Amino acid sequence: MSHQSFHPPLRTLMGPGPSDVNPRVLEAMSRPTIGHLDPMFVALMDDMKVLLRYAFQTDYDLAMPVSAPGSAGMETCFVNLVEPGDTVLVCQNGVFGGRMKENVERCGATAVMVEDEWGKPVDPNKVEEALKANPDIRLVAFVHAETSTGAISDAKTLAEIAHRHDCLIIADCVTSLGGSPLKVSEWGLDAVYSGTQKCLSCTPGLSPVTFSPAAIERIQNRKSKVQSWFMDLNLVLGYWGGGAKRAYHHTAPINALYGLHESLVILEEEGIENACQRHQHNHSALRAGIEAMGLSFVVDEACRLPQLNSVTIPDGVDEAAVRSRLLNEYNLEIGAGLGPLAGKIWRIGLMGFASNQTNVLLCLGALDAVLTDMKAPIKSGVAVEAAMKVFAS
């Protein structure tokens, strides 16, 4: 056997993530590796914590990346804050609430579910009712920006309700961080995890997290050991916590962290408010084109994520064939629907570096051409022009 180096095609990534990576991030990742206890690397870790606090808009001391993808960030929140026998309120309005339930149960705890239709935000009234009905609950979990549907929930209100009922609150901010307003400490979110491969324009593989002092206190006062050695924050903080002397826990993914650092520097340069506005603006242009074609959005405008656009598939169209043609003929990746939305929607991401005019026009032009060629029931030849009007305005 003889294997060759892998040279990937140059895709435009407009699915649910990974999204297009800023070339500065790719370049940063290829810099020389240094040791995980090197004083220069420890200084980088300190710098990254400051940058993560800015990205999360948090004044919590604990802000760091978990050395694994977003699902490990989710699990880090649950295994540290849940103990066997606990009851946890989990809000589900898409795929990731279901994954939270799995996490709760694998910690030996019980999940009380608050269910909302996929594509709708979490209903705060239902959360309030569920907490009234279950006074033992001390932890609430919800997804801020549901990547499976494109709906954003009211994190501030949910945190207020949770705190009024003496609960801590876990928020999945994988897709919101860097793309939608997120004010972790002002809103009082207690444990927040995100991912690098969405609006941070970084490669996948790391999960930034931040924890409130109240969350840390609960972790330090646990009756049982955290079931995961790798994710036990009591141990991880011996390395990521303050102080010049760091204890070895695991070997940090050095070059991936170079990339995350660079992406956070880029976010600071642009400014979070500007980044959010950019996401909104490019969404408006995409929307104009999509609607001009006669297609519609799954999620109401009031709770629609600008970075994740769920678009209904026109009648009689083989949606997988459309995605294949976009990939093969235009090197353009868009996403499929999941769960009850599988086969019913496309998910078009405009995340981070990928949220730009070129991508909007490419996506609309390619979709228009492929659907027209497949004789789909759309209005042809008008999408790009509609988007251009928004850009020109």
Residues belonging to the binding site for substrate are 347
Could you tell me which stretch among 14-22, 120-128, 160-168, 294-302 binds a copy of itself (CB under 8 A)?
Answer: 14-22
Q: What is the dihedral of CA 187, 46, 202, 6, to 10 degrees?
A: -150
Neighbours of 143 (CB within 10 A): 32
Using rule CB under 8 A, residue 305 touches a copy of itself:
no
Task: List phi, psi (to 5°) of 341.
Answer: -95, 0
Could you tell me which stretch among 37-45, 86-94, 132-140, 370-378 binds a copy of itself (CB under 8 A)?
Answer: 37-45
Nearer to a copy of itself, 15 or 119 (CB): 15
Nearer to a copy of itself, 7 or 132 (CB): 7
Q: For residues 250-289, which are near a copy of itself according to CB under 8 A?
A: 250-256, 258-259, 261-262, 264-265, 268
Mask for 63-82, x = binds a copy of itself (CB under 8 A): ----xxxxxx--x---x---
Neighbours of 123 (CB within 10 A): 18
- Tokens 């019980």 locate to 110
- In the complex, what is the shortest distance from the CB of residue 176 to a copy of itself, in angstroms, rounded to a whole number? 16
- In the complex, what is the shortest distance from the CB of residue 386 to a copy of itself, in angstroms, rounded to a whole number? 27
Classify 390 as helix, strand or coil: helix
- Torsion region of 108: left, alpha or beta (phi above 0 gives left; psi -120 to 50 gives alpha): left
Mask for 79-118, x = binds a copy of itself (CB under 8 A): x-------------------x--xx-xxx-----------
Using rule CB under 8 A, residue 338 touches a copy of itself:
yes
Q: For residues 78 and 170, is the Cβ–Cβ distance under 8 A?
A: yes
- In the complex, what is the shortest distance from the CB of residue 320 to a copy of itself, in angstroms, rounded to a whole number? 11
How many residues bind a copy of itself (CB under 8 A)? The answer is: 82
Q: Which residues contact 140 (CB under 8 A, 6 or more apart)?
A: 88, 89, 90, 91, 127, 131, 158, 161, 162, 167, 168, 169, 170
Using rule CB under 8 A, residue 296 touches a copy of itself:
no
Using rule CB under 8 A, residue 61 touches a copy of itself:
no
Closest by CA position to 187, among listed 166, 217, 220, 162:
162
> Which runs of consecutive H residues, i.e. helices, occur in 205-318?
213-220, 233-240, 254-270, 272-292
- In the complex, what is the shortest distance from the CB of residue 50 to a copy of itself, in angstroms, rounded to a whole number? 7
C-alpha to C-alpha distance for 9 and 274, rounded to whole angstroms: 31
- In the complex, what is the shortest distance from the CB of residue 39 to a copy of itself, in angstroms, rounded to a whole number? 8
